[in-house]
Amino acid sequence: MPQPNATLEDLEIILHEQEGCPICHYGRQSGRKYLDGVMYESVNDFGLRQRLIKNMGFCEFHSQEMLTFPGAKLGAAIIEQAMLKEALRRMEATSPGRNSFFSRGSKSEPSHSTPDRNTCPACLHEQASERRAIEELLAHWDDDWVGLLEKSGGMCFNHFVLALYLAPKATAKTLKQMHERQWRELIVQLDEFIRKQDYRFRHEAISEEEGVASRRTIAILTGEPRSVIQTKLVT
């Protein structure tokens, strides 16, 4: 399998080493690498600081992940202090009273919310990387990639939909067939798991696949779970 670029090399390693949606895994690693760069090189970068201030820092996950880099405590302290100063500035800029932090016309939604996946710079970096990974995968689509993707259990629903949107017709057809087959298999495994909970069939052993079918389904529907324990960085 020729490897013309780093994205494909990383994807191939992920597909060999990890189960589940390779695009999710690639995005997580890419986000972690981005944070690593921020911690060590860009902590005092004016443009990034302004962007972070505008969005009030990183999302909950990436803020926690910042603390997992060895030696990055100083960078985290510098960033978080700047964010807390911004929170204080916003607080002081509003007049006292219940309505000051609330959007006009809204009864419950704060107008200055902390970042989520749509505003966190690291999440946005992840999403751009995930799209790039799908584009590279599709541009180099062949039987080897089909085999690797099939073995990993395929993509999560959101990445599958994006891949389908970006894929040429023939590739889209293969993608669709693969995921349809896998999801149908999963439905059968869940059926079996549910059936074996009945007292009449409890003597039947639950297979390993049936035992993890719920977890796999959740990963397909919501994306691979995020873990701050990940230590590997993409190149």
Q: List residues binding Zn ion (CB under 5 A).
A: 21, 23-24, 59, 62, 120, 122-123, 156, 159, 223
CA 189 to each of CA 184, 186, 193, 224: distance values in angstroms, whole numbers, following the listed order: 9, 5, 6, 19
Nearer to Zn ion (CB atom), residue 33 or residue 159: 159
Nearer to Zn ion (CB atom), residue 206 or residue 228: 228
Q: How far is the CB of 160 from Zn ion (least distance, A)?
A: 8
User: How far is 28 from 227, CA to CA, in rounded Å?
Assistant: 9
> Residue 1 CA to chain centroid, in angstroms?
27
Q: How far is the CB of 183 from Zn ion (least distance, A)?
A: 14
66-99: b or e for each residue (b if 16 or more CB lie within 10 Å)? beebeebeebbeebeeebeebeeeeeeeeeeeee
Q: How far is the CB of 6 from Zn ion (least distance, A)?
A: 20
In the block, residue with structure tokens 């690291």: 122
Nearer to Zn ion (CB atom), residue 120 or residue 213: 120
Q: How far is the CB of 119 from Zn ion (least distance, A)?
A: 9
Nearer to Zn ion (CB atom), residue 62 or residue 171: 62
Q: How far is the CB of 162 from Zn ion (least distance, A)?
A: 9
User: How far is 213 from 196, CA to CA, in rounded Å?
Assistant: 13
Nearer to Zn ion (CB atom), residue 31 or residue 210: 31
Q: How far is the CB of 128 from Zn ion (least distance, A)?
A: 13
Nearer to Zn ion (CB atom), residue 76 or residue 122: 122
In the block, residue with structure tokens 């389908």: 164
What is the Rg, in whole angstroms, of the alpha carbon atoms belonging to the chain?
A: 22
Q: Is 131 exposed, middle or buried (0-12, 13-18, 19+ CB in 10 A)?
A: middle
